[in-house]
Chain A
Amino acid sequence: MAIDIVMPQLGESVAEGTVIKWLVSRGGHVKKDQPLLEVETDKVSLEVPSPNTGSLSEILITEGQTVPVGTVIARLEGSRNSVSDNGRREMNLQPTETKEELCLESVHYSPAVKRLAREYHIDLARISGTGAGGRITQKDVLAHVNKGQIQPTPPFAPKLVISPRPEQAIARDELLPFTPMRRSIAERMVESRRTSAHVVTVFEADYSVIEKVRRRLSLTYLPFVVKAVTQALRAYPILNASWSDKGILMKHSIHIGIAVALEDGLLVPVIRDADQKTLKQLAQEIADLAYRARTKQLKPEEVQGGTFSITNHGGFGSLLGTPIIHQPNMAILGMGTVQKRPVVINDAIAIRPMGYLSLAFDHRGIDGATADKFMTKVKEGIEHTKGETTS
């Protein structure tokens, strides 16, 4: 019995998706959850896992084609289950003739290939090899890395750093065709500006208390800021809301979206129930989400449902920003770079690590005074932070 593989909805307002690469060829055998293809939709690129075990009997949409969400793009044959079942698990059939083909344990990886896989956190099972006998070569791994613009990042350094582009001397003007991600970013940005009445208010916070605490705990600024924001959102819930035709929808839970820069785009994975998490948990989750954002491993639900967003544009040296609200939120906080500055305290000059915080808010639903009170609370949360123990 054949199952239809459809173009998934990856993101709230996504209407279509582009097939980037089939990871299994026609007739190839897949196991349940094994990555089937790479898809790009909205601002998300990711791999779609197979709903079931079987063989890919038909590929209806080829690489490069863009189709509406829900379109049947392939058919999976050979399993007694169908996705439309109510999830009852039955024994999966494993056709014996294909077992040897995909017996990954006996695949040989050279030392160079293994090292690269470690550094870039690549699952070698997902790469096809061009070497002798189908061997995965170093070049294959590097090609995979370069295509996905994966950067090797250590787990606990969630700085949103983009690796520098290799310099190119452009002798003539060059036309860059739109990627699906670029197209959707463009649309969303303009649409958000058109929709919300953007106003920006800027505050400055003293990070010295955080400085003392964060080194001891080996954390960056971001988890502290998230914590301060969640506390402020509890005090001023209008900032944690959505504009709708019928009124302002006050969201009960606090789900903080964290903007992650990619080499040619942007993703905003979400920390769910951020107010209920400890500093350490926040830090870990931030790192993990950033990581998986860059390696195209985010699940669709992880980029949906945010109620407030934070963008750490200061990671690139920016002092101050005027971010664009991530619809359908009511506000977004931009974090500027933290740097030592002379400030006046008790009529004397002191040197403190200071950073600007820029809140862009939707003036349709939020007034300036509220916004400023919210920001005062955020500032207080940052400046008087009591470090949590790392338990």
Chain B
Amino acid sequence: MITATDHETTYLEAISEALDEEMEKDDRVFILGEDIGPYGGAFRVTEGFQEKYGEWRVLDTPLAESGIVGAGIGAAMMGMRPVVEMQFADFISCAFDQITEMAAKNHYRWGAAVPLVIRAPYGGGVHGGPFHSACPEAWFFHTPGLKIVAPSTPYDAKGLLKAAIRDENPVIYLEHKFLYRRVKDKLPPDDYIVPIGEAEIKRSGADLSLITYGAMVHLGLEAADILAGEGIDMELVDLRTLSPLDKETIMTSVRKTSKVIILHEDNKTGGIGAEISAILAEQCFGFLDGPILRIAAPDTPVPYSPPLEEQYLPKVSDILAAARQLATY
């Protein structure tokens, strides 16, 4: 069991803490997924949980994503607060039907809320290949009735999971597996949430805006430091919530800097960046002093071999090139 002490909490520990704290104070919260019981989950997020909460609140399920998401929906409608774990975000496609037809449309159709959370470890950089590295957000971004969050820091990870559990709506919680043990931070000991629907300026700047989320936030900050040395002051907007998008923060930033780069690890075509570009073109047209640039993975599945995956994933050098180009445009 991860106990909250005055130490630096990793991104993974932050998720674990959030789950633990919510389960402790609210009987309605229970978790279901594959191998989450005695095994503690594929990434050890739920290590020790079954000992503490018993096998009915930490439910090891058969290999049946659609079934367990459907079960989560039914339990949620009956007043529980289920948190369903997809072992890898890639497997969420098995539950696509239940998520998009049952969960997403329920409240709209007949007023029945579905306070369900689906946790999905996503993202590449771990040599996972095509079925253990995907970013599925765009499929669900397009579906009305869902909320999607994607924290980049331990603080946000904890706060957003709590917010997701307390939200009345189905929330897909995207935890980036690359960040699990690589980012850590001191967290406040008391209860806090990060509101869903609010982006955060992780770095303030005047010359151009970088809009991004997830692991790419850290790449962006690295690039921003290098660019600062070149006299280019880049602002970084961490979306934190993908749906609903915090359009206000995005547009305020772009109105300030007049130049924008959108960065995501997901494939380029039809990724969230495309929607943000459209919004900016529609609503901030008069404030653009340069073209809207997007940096994203190419339109291919995630490859396995290291040189291929490295080429596939956006890099700091991509950000630098785009930023320099825009700054001198």
Q: Of B37-45, B271-279, B281-289, which binds chain A? A: B281-289
Binary per-residue interface labels of chain A (110-135) against chain B in the complex, 1 for a CB within 8 Å, 0 otherwise: 11111100000000000000011001
Q: Which of B285, B287, B329 contacts A135 (CB 8 A)?
A: B329
B328 within 8 A of A: yes
Majority-rule SS of A interface residues? helix
CB pair B329–A112 under 8 Å, yes or no, is no
A137 within 8 A of B: yes
CB pair A111–B328 under 8 Å, yes or no, is no
Write the nearest CB–CB distance from B35 to chain A, whole angstroms.
Answer: 53
CB pair A114–B286 under 8 Å, yes or no, is yes
CB pair B286–A112 under 8 Å, yes or no, is yes
| B:280-329 near A, CB below 8 Å | 285-290, 328-329
Closest to B286 in A: A115
B133 within 8 A of A: no
Write the nearest CB–CB distance from A116 to chain B, whole angstroms.
Answer: 9
Bound-state Cα–Cα, A276 to B286, Å: 43
Q: Which of A110, A131, A132, A135 contacts B288 (CB 8 A)?
A: A110
Write the nearest CB–CB distance from A122 to chain B, whole angstroms.
Answer: 15
Closest to B290 in A: A110
Bound-state Cα–Cα, A253 to B268, Å: 72
Bound-state Cα–Cα, A135 to B290, Å: 11
B212 within 8 A of A: no
Write the nearest CB–CB distance from B270 to chain A, whole angstroms.
Answer: 25
Write the nearest CB–CB distance from B122 to chain A, whole angstroms.
Answer: 35
Residues of B within 8 A of A131 (CB): 328-329
**Contact count band on B:** under 10
Closest to A135 in B: B329
Bound-state Cα–Cα, A137 to B328, Å: 9
Closest to B329 in A: A132
CB pair B329–A111 under 8 Å, yes or no, is no
Closest to A118 in B: B286
Write the nearest CB–CB distance from A127 to chain B, whole angstroms.
Answer: 14
Which residue among B285, B288, B289 has the maximum number of chain A CB atoms within 10 Å of its CB? Answer: B289
B258 within 8 A of A: yes
Bound-state Cα–Cα, A131 to B259, Å: 13
| A:91-119 near B, CB below 8 Å | 110-115
CB pair A113–B329 under 8 Å, yes or no, is no
Write the nearest CB–CB distance from A246 to chain B, whole angstroms.
Answer: 60
Q: Which of A112, A114, A115, A132 contacts B328 (CB 8 A)?
A: A132
CB pair A137–B289 under 8 Å, yes or no, is yes
Bound-state Cα–Cα, A111 to B329, Å: 14
CB pair A113–B289 under 8 Å, yes or no, is yes
A45 within 8 A of B: no
Write the nearest CB–CB distance from A156 to chain B, whole angstroms.
Answer: 23
Residues of A within 8 A of B290 (CB): 110
A138 within 8 A of B: yes
Write the nearest CB–CB distance from B289 to chain A, whole angstroms.
Answer: 4
Write the nearest CB–CB distance from A108 to chain B, whole angstroms.
Answer: 11
Closest to B257 in A: A138
Bound-state Cα–Cα, A317 to B286, Å: 35
Bound-state Cα–Cα, A111 to B286, Å: 5
Residues of B within 8 A of A111 (CB): 285-289
Closest to A136 in B: B289
Residues of A within 8 A of B288 (CB): 110-112
CB pair A138–B258 under 8 Å, yes or no, is yes
Write the nearest CB–CB distance from A91 to chain B, whole angstroms.
Answer: 40
Closest to A116 in B: B286
Bound-state Cα–Cα, A132 to B327, Å: 10
CB pair A115–B287 under 8 Å, yes or no, is yes
CB pair A110–B289 under 8 Å, yes or no, is yes
CB pair A138–B289 under 8 Å, yes or no, is yes
Closest to B288 in A: A111
Write the nearest CB–CB distance from A130 to chain B, whole angstroms.
Answer: 9
Residues of B within 8 A of A114 (CB): 286
Bound-state Cα–Cα, A132 to B329, Å: 5
Bound-state Cα–Cα, A131 to B328, Å: 6
Closest 4 CB pairs of A and B: A115-B286, A112-B289, A138-B289, A110-B289
CB-defined A-B contacts under 8 Å, sample of 22:
A110-B288, A110-B289, A110-B290, A111-B285, A111-B286, A111-B287, A111-B288, A111-B289, A112-B258, A112-B286, A112-B287, A112-B288, A112-B289, A113-B289, A114-B286, A131-B329, A132-B329, A135-B329, A137-B289, A137-B329, A138-B258, A138-B289
> Which residues of A are at the interface with B, using a C-beta cutoff of 8 A?
110-115, 131-132, 135, 137-138
